[in-house]
A and B are shown apart, each in its own frame.
Chain A
Amino acid sequence: MKQAFKAHADALSRLAAVALIFAILILISPSFGTITNILNVLRISSLTLMIATGIAMCMLVGGIDLSVGATIALTSILFGRYFQIGHSALEMVMGMAGILALSAAIGASNGLCVAYLKLPPFLATYGVQQIARGLAYLLTEGLVYSNFTEEFKFIGGGYALGVPTPILFAAALLIAIGLMLNKTTLGRRIYAVGSNREAARYSGINVKGTLLTAYTLSGLTAGIAGIVYTSRLNCAEPTIGAEFAQQAIAAAAIGGISFKGGHGNVFGVIIGAVILTLITNGMTLLGIDSNWQVGVTGVIIILSVLIDRNTAKKKV
Chain B
Amino acid sequence: MKRRFLRQIPMTLPLLFAMVVLFAIFVGPAKYLKLSNIMNVIVQCTSGVGIVALASFLAICSTGVDLSLGGIVSLSGMLTAKLLTWDVPLLSGLREQSPALLLALAVLASIATGALVGSLNGLILSRTNIPSFIITLGTYKICETLSRVIADGTTVRVNGNAAFEFIGGGSLLNVQQIVKQGARQSVRTVGVLPVSVLILFFLYLVFSIVMKRTRFGTYVYAIGGNYDAAELSGIDTRRTRFRAFLLGGMIAAVTGIIMTSRLTAASASNGLGLEFDGIAAAVVGGAAMTGGRSTPWRTLIGAFIISVLRNGFNMIGMSNSLQMIAIGAVLIFVVAVDAARNRR
Contact = CB atoms under 8 A, between A and B. Distances in A.
Interface of A: 64, 113, 117-120, 122-124, 126-131, 133-138, 238, 246, 249-250, 253, 259-260, 289, 291-292, 294-299, 301-302, 305-306, 311-315
A298 B328 contact: no
Given A119-B339, A137-B321, A294-B148, A130 B134 contact: no
Given A119-B335, A253-B134, A294-B141, 7 more contacts: A130-B324, A130-B328, A131-B328, A134-B321, A289-B149, A291-B148, A302-B135
Interface in B147-174: 148-149
Contacts of B145: 291-292, 294-296, 298
A226 to B, nearest CB: 18
Interface of B: 65, 124, 127-131, 133-135, 137-142, 144-146, 148-149, 276, 279, 283, 289-290, 319-329, 331-332, 335-336, 339-340, 343
A-B CB proximity, top 3 nearest: A298-B141, A295-B145, A130-B328
26 contacts: A113-B332, A117-B339, A119-B335, A119-B336, A123-B283, A127-B329, A130-B325, A130-B328, A131-B329, A134-B323, A134-B326, A138-B321, A291-B145, A294-B144, A295-B141, A295-B144, A297-B141, A301-B138, A301-B141, A302-B124, A302-B135, A302-B138, A305-B128, A306-B130, A311-B130, A314-B129
B63 to A, nearest CB: 11
A66 to B, nearest CB: 9
B324 A119 contact: no
A117 B336 contact: yes
Contacts of B279: 123, 126
B313 to A, nearest CB: 12
Contacts of A123: 279, 283, 289, 331-332, 335
Nearest to A250: B137
Contacts of B323: 134
A249 B137 contact: yes
Contacts of B322: 134, 138
A259 B332 CA distance: 22
Nearest to B333: A127
A134 B142 contact: no
Contact of B276 (A119, A126, A133): A126
Nearest to B336: A117
Report which residue of A118, A120, A123 has the largest number of chain B beta carbons within 10 angstroms of its beta carbon: A123
Contacts of A124: 332, 335
A298 B147 CA distance: 14
Nearest to A290: B148
B149 A259 contact: no
Contacts of B283: 123
A175 to B, nearest CB: 28
A111 to B, nearest CB: 13
Contacts of B325: 130-131, 134-135, 138
Contacts of A128: 328, 332
Nearest to B65: A122
B328 A129 contact: yes
B134 A249 contact: yes
Contacts of B331: 123, 126-127, 130
Contacts of A133: 324
B149 to A, nearest CB: 5
A173 B166 CA distance: 57
Contacts of A315: 129
Contacts of A298: 137-142, 145
A29 to B, nearest CB: 23
A302 B133 CA distance: 11
A189 to B, nearest CB: 23
A312 B142 contact: no
A214 B17 CA distance: 40
Contacts of B144: 294-295
A305 B137 contact: no
B336 A113 contact: yes
Given A113-B336, A294-B145, A295-B141, A305 B328 contact: no
Nearest to A117: B336
Nearest to A308: B130
